[in-house]
Chain A
């Protein structure tokens, strides 16, 4: 008997890749926000490879779903040299989602402090930008910039995987 997984692999091989090629170019507004000098530093020091550590600082988990989509087979973020790492000590970029809740602020700060320099912070989603619809609560400090210096913001509720990719490509191009 041919194991089903072998059959699946053969089928996938014949069907060709599902990965999307029609990705939008990096948003020029994001490129300027990032400051081109910073992009230059990234490229000089790290080539075209970025290690990303994601931290949910209080999101509704919508942004996490779209990060998963961006790392999945259709958007395949890793083909650009971007990959998620399990430890902040291995990371160049801290990707933060959600409004920063008072209960997560210390863990977020400690994660940032555990990262080696040079390091950059990307705030993902409308909540990461300014707290979104949760701003003003007794349990929310605001956007990521309330706790950490933010280098790049990728807006959206949640940002679509294309927007996440375009944002990161702005760091590399």
Chain B
């Protein structure tokens, strides 16, 4: 039997929190949470994120049927809560992180190993009201075993051969074939949630923009939208358009680097050189027009930091005119180089079933049959009037992830042109009323859906903070996609996922 009640109907049983915006937050009792757990065993409701506060655990959910978003909360004064991981595998690592950071124990969770806590923080449960003392030595970390004749282990990282972020990968291989890959992350954990708490909006916005540097606009936008929802600010229409302009420039620059990087990991370096030239054109334009190559700190709570300089429209049009044909040429090169196609096609296949099971978003989801895009659902201005097209493929291999990126890059080019054409006039920043409240924002970064939740106290300072990177639901799938591939194709698969270490570890 498929239960018919919608997410909002189901949550009507709990106590609705008055100040939560723009989506409801409902406090459930223990039986209510158990019922939720039971309902989550069936498909239909998607996990957006799970996090905690002192003696309270929150889960953000989306009803795939009607797109409704809501947060369910369970008070856990005894320090434990029924785990969602058995019904939603995407919650496995989130709940290990909850145990590490807040000291709340997920009941029925079958992985006792810590995740972000490497035993080096000087304390345990640093976000709990009373942190626990640290263990004397960093405990050993047992990787999941793989047994069989001729199996050997290959440890890689946290320091890698290239200029990339740190993380450890443990391969179990039989000859060349990968039997099991397990990642160990947390190396770049900086304690951002703790740092943000107690800060002013300005200081916390700066931090939010540095959760994952390559998605700085998306994070700054998510933070700003959450803060605006919490305090009820109304953002002027011109600011919405400029934010989308920045976001699409970031998406374009990110996809260009990824497309080139994937080709480079298949030993086709000339394509990386070509995309780097285009990317550099975008970053130079960003710097000249907006004062920062990566557009850090340009999106602020209330709007954007500065209006467009007078020469911006002409300069951006020139940029678009050059990028369009150049991108088409690079795509033609990619599609018509057999030695490259030989590496990317059929490599690192992620099945649509797994992508749905983990709720993987971004390019990874869209290359494996899951078309979710936060710009469409729940959607945010100005995209509802830009006729956004979201590409989707079913193959789920490296090639599909490249082709989705090509399609999204072309769409970003079109969106930028459209935004420039229909740019509203007026102010670009609104004042924020200082008042207490809670806000959640969902924003599509070039990597997938960023969720950011915050609570403000009466003085407008941060009293609670949680940022969710799309990589949480993508990292585990890399381990599935690489299975049966050769070790030498790992860089290629990894680059085609391009998950964020810093965004995940925070």
A residues sitting closer than 8 Å to B (CB atoms) are 3-5, 8-9, 18, 54-69, 71-74, 84, 86-88, 98-99, 101-108, 111, 132-134, 136-140, 157-158, 160
Contacts and interface: CB of A to CB of B under 8 A. Distances in A.
B192 interface: yes
Given A65-B213, A134-B190, A138-B194, A74 B333 contact: no
Contacts of A137: 190-192, 194-195
B426 to A, nearest CB: 30
A87 B162 CA distance: 9
8 contacts: A59-B213, A60-B213, A61-B214, A101-B187, A107-B166, A134-B210, A136-B195, A157-B210
B333 A61 contact: no
Given A56-B188, A61-B502, A107-B158, A160 B293 contact: yes
B195 A56 contact: no
Contact of A158 (B126, B190, B213, B276): B213
A107 B168 CA distance: 11
Given A61-B501, A103-B118, A107-B159, A134 B195 contact: yes
B163 A107 contact: no
B317 interface: no
Interface residues of B, number: 53
B276 A74 contact: yes
Given A58-B187, A139-B190, A72 B165 contact: no
B211 A60 contact: yes
Contacts of B118: 102-103
Contacts of A8: 270, 274, 329, 333
A62 B276 contact: no
Nearest to B213: A62
Interface in B155-175: 158-159, 161-166
A56 B158 CA distance: 9
Nearest to A135: B195
B163 A69 contact: no
B120 interface: yes
B131 to A, nearest CB: 8
A15 B121 CA distance: 54
A4 B158 CA distance: 38
B187 A54 contact: no
Contacts of B276: 68-69, 72-74
A54 B160 CA distance: 9
B189 interface: yes
B216 to A, nearest CB: 7
B277 interface: yes
A97 to B, nearest CB: 9
B140 to A, nearest CB: 14
Given A8-B333, A134-B195, A61 B122 contact: no
B187 A60 contact: no
A57 B163 CA distance: 12
A54 B296 CA distance: 23
A104 B166 contact: yes
Contact of A62 (B191, B192, B216, B332): B216
Contacts of A55: 159, 166
Contact of B210 (A60, A72, A74, A103): A60
B161 A133 contact: no
Given A56-B188, A139-B121, 8 more contacts: A4-B337, A61-B501, A69-B276, A84-B163, A136-B195, A137-B191, A138-B123, A139-B190
Nearest to A127: B210
Nearest to A72: B276
B273 A62 contact: no
A62 B214 contact: yes
Nearest to A54: B163
B14 to A, nearest CB: 33
A137 B401 CA distance: 37
Nearest to B284: A74
A57 B329 CA distance: 38
A133 B191 contact: no
Given A65-B213, A158-B294, A18 B190 contact: no
